[in-house]
Amino acid sequence: MLEEIFDKCISKMSISLSQKSKESVLKEISAWLKPSIKGEGPVITKDGSITLVNPQYGEAYHSLTAGAISECLMKFVEPSRIVQKAQSKKKIRILDIGFGLGYNLAVAIERIRSVNSRTEIEILSFEKLLSENIPLLPEPYKRYHKLLLDGFPEFCKDGISFKLLLGDARQKVGECRGFDADAVFHDAFSPYRNPELWTYEFLKEIKEAIATDGFWVSYTSSLPVRKALKLLGFGLNDSPNVGRKRGGTLASLTIKDDLNFEDIRKINSSPYAIPFRDETLNTEPLEILVNYRLWVE
């Protein structure tokens, strides 16, 4: 399958590669697609909370070495500034790219309500396919997690408005234009295994849904993603390296870049610092990867 798409892309781009170069590129792409964890089902993470392993993507939904709840708090909720905003705002809007197990949202709701019980919360979430037998979070997040899981696909209750859009997010992302999100939790599977949700075109749609002073947050510091965000006019900061060697990314239209010298150098000069592209928002994920790698050439 990979070699077939590779040959198709080479033909379309009128590129000539030696057999040795072709084998090298195919080997690199295959390494990107290699699962980071085998198996499926529940796994206990470092902080004692449980996550699941997704066999299709070969990844766990949360960091095993940091802990699922810890990652939600330190990688998404805290960097997004929504808790601080909830102290004075009547409504907080969250755009959630990758509902997953619903942990990020449950933790976010609990933290918002802990500082202001009267704040209204509006959530628009995307998920390709819901997992079965999602583990219920412990207290103090259990109540809100259960509310989300019992309320599919949408509900409005206790000042919380929630809507889950199932299927390929690319086909539904237009529905979030003008949403005016205070925070975007971009928590799809990793860019090289789930590239269709990290392309320049998809992130451009997300830009249309974020408030001017809103924050886009993610666990990734991937060069294709950061380059796309830069080209779209976002300022970039690091977020904590929770359970990972590198930190994640915090982006906003109202902040200046605050990255270390080496990260800035890579974004400006690395051959890999080019965005994934998906002009039709309908390109096969493998084709997105192959095209990206061929442009690196």
Give, in order, the Cα–Cα distances in Å from 196 to each of 60, 170, 278, 287.
19, 8, 7, 10
Structure-token pair, residue 132? 């079965």
Note whether 289 and 29 are within 8 A (CB): yes
The 10s digit of each residue's pLDDT in 233-276 is: 999 999 987 766 788 999 999 999 999 999 999 999 999 999 99
Amino acid 39: pLDDT: 86
Q: What is the pLDDT of residues 82-122, one digit of tens each?
A: 999 999 999 999 999 999 999 999 999 999 999 999 999 99
* pLDDT (tens digit per residue) in 5-31: 888 888 888 888 889 988 999 999 999
CA angle 240, 179, 258 (to 5 degrees): 30
pLDDT tens across 204-239, in order? 999 999 999 999 999 999 999 999 999 999 999 999
- b/e code 263-276 from CB counts within 10 Å (16+ = b): beebbeeeeebbbb
Mean pLDDT confidence for 42-58: 95
